[in-house]
Amino acid sequence: MKVYKAYAKVNIFLKITGSRGAYHEIISRFMRVANLYDMLSFVPKTSEKFEILGDFSCTTEQNTIYKAYFALKCATESASLEKLMRTHAVRVNKAIPAFAGLGGGSSDAATYLKMCNEVLHLGLSLRELAEIGLKVGADVPFFIYGYDAANVSGIGEIVEEFEEDLLELETFTPKVEISTPKVYASYRENFYKPIDIKTIEFFKKTKSKDILKSMSANEANDLFAPALQEYKELKNHYQYGWHFSGSGSSFFRVKEK
């Protein structure tokens, strides 16, 4: 069976632009991490229940892959999809740490949707897959489109390719399990200061390497300060020159030559 790669991402910058009900609107540069990925494949099985083979701490029903299956089934009502999942399990060789700000769950979900679309000849466009993926998580559309880098806005549903060279990145994930909702709640309560249109345009146009060279982790990512406040042990892992991805706990930098 064919093996599919589900790549990690980092947030070169992540700035809050406003709020939409309970959600925060953002502008962020997502960049694919070329040397960090999970590997997914379909493998035959005997039991008829939906099965994911891999090292996960959550239940099957909580897994983003199962949520992607359910969203795809609702959108397509495909009998061939149900038959595939009765006869095959999804095997996931995990390399992307969980609760890390690297998008592992979202990337797995997006890769699963693309696998099903290809294997079952569903004929869905990337836009249609992205709309289904958005029901699973805000970061899923980026992984559906498969860009090296993109400006992501709204609550994650607007993905615009940003053409630049893919940077060679290294990541470090301390053993600090972070709750994204908790970090966003702390941001809203203690740090809420959305950026203006002019600043949004600056971030959207500036190359990733220039952002990383000229800004600190705190300047580039609005969630770093609330994450530090809620998880004080993060401070022990931060080193100058590293940046913070998403709501954490991962740090990253351009690999030194």
Pairing label, strands 251-254, 169-172:
antiparallel
**Is 96 buried (19+), middle (13-18) or exposed (0-12) by CB count in 10 A?**
buried
Of the residues 55, 139, 210, 222, only one is catalytic, namely 139
Percent of the chain residues past pLDDT 70, beyond the cut: 100
Q: How far apart are the first and last CA of the chain?
A: 37
Same domain, 134 and 218: no
Pairing label, strands 52-53, 88-93:
parallel
Angstrom distance (rounded) from CA 141 to CA 127: 8
Angstrom distance (rounded) from CA 11 to CA 102: 8
Same domain, 147 and 249: no
Q: Which of 114, 140, 161 is the last residue of a domain?
A: 161
Q: What is the pLDDT of residues 59-82, one digit of tens each?
A: 889 999 999 999 999 999 999 999
Provide the 10 A C-beta neighbour count for residue 231.
21
pLDDT at 94 over 90: yes
Same domain, 219 and 121: no
Would you call 139 a catalytic residue per the annotation? yes
- pLDDT band, very low/low/confident/very high, at 132 (cuts 50, 70, 90): very high
Would you call 73 a catalytic residue per the annotation? no
Same domain, 92 and 181: no
Token representation of residue 121: 């000849």
Over residues 161-187, the mean pLDDT reads 94
Domain containing 184 equals 169-254
pLDDT at 22 over 80: no
Same domain, 61 and 157: yes
CATH number at residue 232: 3.30.70.890
Least confident of 48-57, 69-78, 115-124: 48-57
pLDDT value at residue 23: 80
CA quadruple 227, 232, 237, 239: dihedral, nearest 10: 70
Same domain, 16 and 44: yes
How many domains would you assign to the chain? Answer: 2
Of the residues 2, 9, 182, 232, only one is catalytic, namely 9
Q: What is the pLDDT of residues 201-242, one digit of tens each?
A: 999 999 999 999 999 999 999 999 999 999 999 999 999 999
Same domain, 176 and 133: no
Same domain, 41 and 125: yes
Same domain, 148 and 177: no
pLDDT value at residue 57: 83
DSSP 60: T
CATH number at residue 133: 3.30.230.10
Same domain, 16 and 91: yes
Contact 38, 5 (CB under 8 A): yes
